A and B are shown apart, each in its own frame.
Chain A
Amino acid sequence: MAGHPTRTLLLAQAHQELTALRQLAATLAEVVPDGEAGQAVVDRFGLLTDRVARELKAVLRDPDPGTGWPSLNAARASALELTREVLAYCHGELLRRAELDHGIGDVAERLLDHLTRGAGIDRRVLLSVAESAFLTHTVSMIRNRFPDVSVWSLPVLAHEFGHHVASTMAHGDPRFRDEWRPVRQYLSEEADSGEGSREVELAHLNELFADVYATYVLGAAYPLHLLMLAAQPGPGTDTHPAWSRRVRTVLSTVDALGEDEHPTAAGFRGLSRKLASLTRANFPDAVGTAAEQALAGLQARAMIELLREHAYARARYPMPDRVQSLVIDPREPEREPVAGTTVADVLNAAWLWRLDRGDGPNWLLDEASRRAISLSQQVKE
């Protein structure tokens, strides 16, 4: 194809993309923290960067305009996605380094590490910030909501991590093939039993699984966050079920966790009573009809069963007594967390304190949040 009029353009543009890609990798290397944690980020992005670089080099080696332009455009699309993720990561890391996040990024990292260990997943997620919380699968990066720098919304991270668990958790028995993804398989089967569009039902079930997961691993903190700071009346969307259904499923999860013979069951039974009364008072839509309750109960139990079977035993929040010893009230003297305290304990202590004393005033909640952040930074896991 030598002499084809667009060959020169193709070569120039492929070169330009490759240069930009190298610049992206250099920027990332400048921003990541020192040590193993930073290296892990470089490695994760490096896999994708190398893949795009290989695509571009293939175009440079064989600059046939017939095949080269589609290949270049495909590589550009990958590079664009990668650039977005690198920028998001840098965004979060620089905000944290400048201490503009008031320490919440550090606590969030600790929480995600805690959840990763419990889930038995090797590949940890990366953390950044955005205007709302979500997970992207490109490099498995969770965005924490900015500028919310309090601990009150941190339980959402467990929900987002639940999406990661749903897509990556392997079978608990190593004899099963690596390709087995029991949660995904269950969600897909269950979506077939729904009455509406399968695609919408599958999206809803993914959200419900993330809610069940967050309740399973965080105990009181997630349902309380959901009921007090997230739930609102109204129908669902194509991507998210109505809040009433989500709350119902979370309540069913707590009920189910209170029914088994696990040592934590009594704790979940106590929580169930508190949540039932809170729901009746503030969000009666969530109670639902007998059929709606049955569906929530069935799905919540099936999802719990998956976690019991395939996540590590320690993933289930232990509802420990040590939560009582954490002093969240900023008007009382701070006490060092006892040995064994986790970030999840601090979140539970904070939310249970908030539930017990009623909401507001804002200054007190802000102070309590700072206390919780400080306690979270002191725990050693």
Chain B
Amino acid sequence: MLIPPPHNHPAPPGEPRLSLSNITKRYPGVVANADVSLTVMPGEIHAVLGENGAGKSTLMKVIYGSIQADEGEIQWNGRQIVIPNPAAARKLGIGMVFQHFSLFETLTVTENIALALDEPFDLAALAERVKIVSEKYGLPLDPHRLVHSLSVGERQRVEIVRCLLQDPQLLILDEPTSVLTPQAVRKLFETLRQLASEGVSLLYISHKLHEIQELCDSATVMRGGRVTGHCKPAEESPASMARMMIGRDLPVCVAPEYTGSVGTSLEVRNLSLESPDPFGVSLKDVNLRVARGEVVGIAGISGNGQAELLAALSGEQTVGKGAILLDGVDVGQLNAGQRRDKGLGFVPEERLGRGAVPNMPLSWNAMLTAHRQPEMRKYTLLDFAAARDFAKRCIERFDVRCNGEQSVARSLSGGNLQKFIVGREIMQAPKVMVIAQPTWGVDVGASAFLRQTILDISRSGVGVLVISEELDELFEISDRIAVLAGGRLSEAVPKEQTDVERIGLLMVRNTEQEAA
């Protein structure tokens, strides 16, 4: 191996910080990365752009040493290296901010950070350093707080500070803005630019085109595990990057006028609810009305009462008399099954394990909620043939790609399972549909299909409530938008009368009220 002495090189731009060539990683049945190459210079903010399932996360795990590539080479500051595990990556100066945070709820900020540092164990001294570093980069943190008491944004700060304490030369951020308010995104970008100006290289993984345009110097676009192009985001348009990302134009949803009968479909009145979970958020005086034929969106970051509101709406948690009305009928004290009998359709955020039983075939998963359809029962026993038939129709009508109605739920991709679950609920002709994170982790094609499906059922006279972290999505399909933050729900306003900025402010304000 030849390592040229540094002074032989012309000063800027110097060696690449990181250079990947022909990385390939296979899993049973899929090639997650095929022949992927990319280069990051010191101080460069480099985007890795691609939709869900494009292989971005796998590539980052290879760089961070969590997994090993089957083929290909990694060069670090000009030297060919092997990264056997995350500890080795950290030693090299590679830090990673995870999408689903790698934090421990019952440990303090300092303890969490200590776990990722390979240095003598001295919590008191570390707490001091956490304070100093976090203030220097505008990421204020109390080192002694327990992580479960932190907001999602604060948790991300812990992750970032944890990396910064190791003097990283390369920082990987996996979809870092998916959990942040628009205002917090701006602050994060400031911090990232400050880091880049100090010479830190950044790998920024995202599927959000406008963010990449705003922040990144260059981008590598991935699709189906392969690199489909390199570009300078500043020189591209969102449409041109989208084409590189999905291979065609971004699909658009159509929202026709609603012309059916008017009336209230779902109503929540003065709902207050203490969370049974010690790490949960209690609901405070939530009021909401969803009319027939409309889609109401609830924006906000998960962990602000979303789980509690969903449990109260679905009936997994019963509430007081008169707090929830379904088509004018008080259902507050009914359980989940009884509310379905009254016409509630519900799609939870977790598909595997909640919306579907992972190891049961689709036909059985159809029975999970559709058992109340008369054709599913013969005498008092279950009719499995009817369940298979129901699943078959669902698969066909909602374009679920799978090996038939006998495939187990966990063998489906996220998007296809979501289509099945949404389909199962719609086929039971609900009067009200509540859908949480409809397109979380779903590819662009399936997302568009799901969003259009949501619009279509609403226009058929169903009241639809969508809870989502994706503001773009809510603005695309909602008629009115409210914000849930700190357990309080803002008034739902027509989307034409608001914008991302104002919604973001509501998220912040409610949370701060809570803290005060």
The answer to whether A and B interact is no
Residues of A within 8 A of B (CB): none
Residues of B within 8 A of A (CB): none
